[in-house]
Amino acid sequence: MFKDIHQAKYDLIDKGLPSDLVIDFGSTFRPRYIEYASKNGAKNCLSIDYQKGDFPKGVEFEQMDFSKDRIVQFLDLYRTKAPGKCLGLMYDILLHQYGPLHVLRNLLSTVDHVCLGNPVLKEGGDPCVFLPSVPEDEQGECTPQPTGYGV
């Protein structure tokens, strides 16, 4: 168990730096991680979130839903502008996705290395947990597509 989860997240980023490009998926709520990367060895920084936010100079922002499949084409193209080693930050985002495995598979295909952190439930702890749900008539769009990899 980590005493300071923020420090643990910074320590993980240190292991992935330096990097030509760092992409923070879901950064608006807490931009401190991409800011840290930009000050500690990331040549280029990109934040992706569907909510607008304030980011320091040197961090590019793209307002986008990264659970949509077009993220893969978008980042393929983006990476031609910032070639080289690419590190993805995926901190506390998976539990917010309707099809977390599908999103994870897509996002992993866009980066070379990843820092991933996700909350887990403490056994016997608070019984409240957010499980994504979606109205039945919208489920077609959210259901993970068959991948052939058995996920």
Residues at the contact surface with ligand SAM, assessed by CB under 6 A: 26-30, 49-51, 65-67, 91-93, 96-97
Rounded Cα gap, residues 7 and 10, in angstroms? 5
Smallest gap from residue 100 Cβ to ligand SAM (A): 10
Smallest gap from residue 45 Cβ to ligand SAM (A): 14
Rounded Cα gap, residues 83 and 130, in angstroms? 37
Nearer to ligand SAM, 41 or 53 (CB): 53
Smallest gap from residue 145 Cβ to ligand SAM (A): 16
Rounded Cα gap, residues 145 and 92, in angstroms? 23
- In angstroms, what CA-CA distances link 2 with 42, 77, 95? 25, 37, 20
C-beta nearest to ligand SAM: residue: 26
Angle between helices 100-108 and 70-81 (to 10 degrees): 20
- Looking up tokens 């690419």 gives 86
Nearer to ligand SAM, 84 or 132 (CB): 132
- In angstroms, what CA-CA distances link 92 with 26, 62, 73, 77, 108? 8, 19, 23, 26, 15
Beta-bridged to residue 117, according to DSSP, are 91
Nearer to ligand SAM, 65 or 83 (CB): 65
Smallest gap from residue 137 Cβ to ligand SAM (A): 20
Nearer to ligand SAM, 4 or 124 (CB): 4
Nearer to ligand SAM, 133 or 148 (CB): 133
Smallest gap from residue 98 Cβ to ligand SAM (A): 9
